[in-house]
Amino acid sequence: MTPLNGENIWEYILDRHAGRIGVKRRKPALENLERIFVATFRLANDVGFRAMSLRDLCRETGLSMGGLYGYITSKDQLAEIIEDVVRHSTQAMPLLFADVRSPLDRLEAMIRSSIYLSEVLQPWFYFVFMDSRVLQVEQRSMAKNSELFVQTLIATTIGEIEPKPHGDPTLLAAHCLALFQDWYVKRWKYRAAKVNVDDFADSVVSTVRRYLSMSGV
């Protein structure tokens, strides 16, 4: 279960930005939002987000410029919506496990869910990680704070583990983040090695559990 996935993400965007999106017929609006963002990620990978233009996006989606303006009027808006999707899903997911009593079990749930969420929304996560520099200053700050939010939750959970693991919880949490960020940033590496998402998640969890369980002994 993830807050957003390939089925409900377009509804989330349409409802969240209803005041900005001028198209009122829901079914074509959802279909066109999918076309717009799939094309955005494809162009961002091919030519770079900075280099792509709205005319490129029109050509890629088959929409007219007027049709495109019914949904977004600038690349800044595109980047803002992408960042918002990642921030919303990233912050919502760990809260699902707040009632798990064992800190190690809660940490495992947070790590696994983060990996699987980034698998479901890989292009979105990759864009924010690689192209955050194209975000406006306020949006860039929000993206950074979103990552720090998750890191703080992980650090707090590590701080509850007994016996206390060796090392600063904040730094250990940063290492955890780096481990599972590698999955969506360097997917080519794991694809070439024929490593699937379950294998990767099992390996990360095993590594973290082993260190945190033994380092306090």
> Per residue in 66-118, pLDDT tens?
999 999 999 989 999 999 999 999 888 888 898 999 999 999 999 999 999 99
Lowest mean pLDDT among 10-19, 46-55, 86-95: 86-95
Please report, for residues 55, 108, 175, the alpha-carbon distance to residue 147 in angstroms, rounded to integers and kept in the order given: 33, 18, 13
- 30-51: average pLDDT: 94
Which of 43, 108, 104 lies closest to 75 in space, CA to CA?
Answer: 43
- 166-177: average pLDDT: 95
pLDDT of residue 1: 66
pLDDT of residue 123: 93
* Global model pTM greater than 0.85: yes
Distance between CA atoms of residues 177 and 181, nearest Å: 6
Average model confidence (pLDDT) across the chain: 91
- The helix/strand/coil state of 50 is coil
Which of 123, 87, 86, 97 lies closest to 1 in space, CA to CA?
Answer: 97
Distance between CA atoms of residues 209 and 62, nearest Å: 49
pLDDT of residue 217: 42
- 56-69: average pLDDT: 96
Please indicate whether residue 113 or residue 2 has the higher confidence score (pLDDT).
113
- According to DSSP H, which parts of the chain are helical? 9-16, 26-46, 54-61, 65-69, 75-92, 103-120, 122-131, 137-159, 169-185, 187-192, 197-214
- 134-143: average pLDDT: 77
Distance between CA atoms of residues 190 and 180, nearest Å: 12
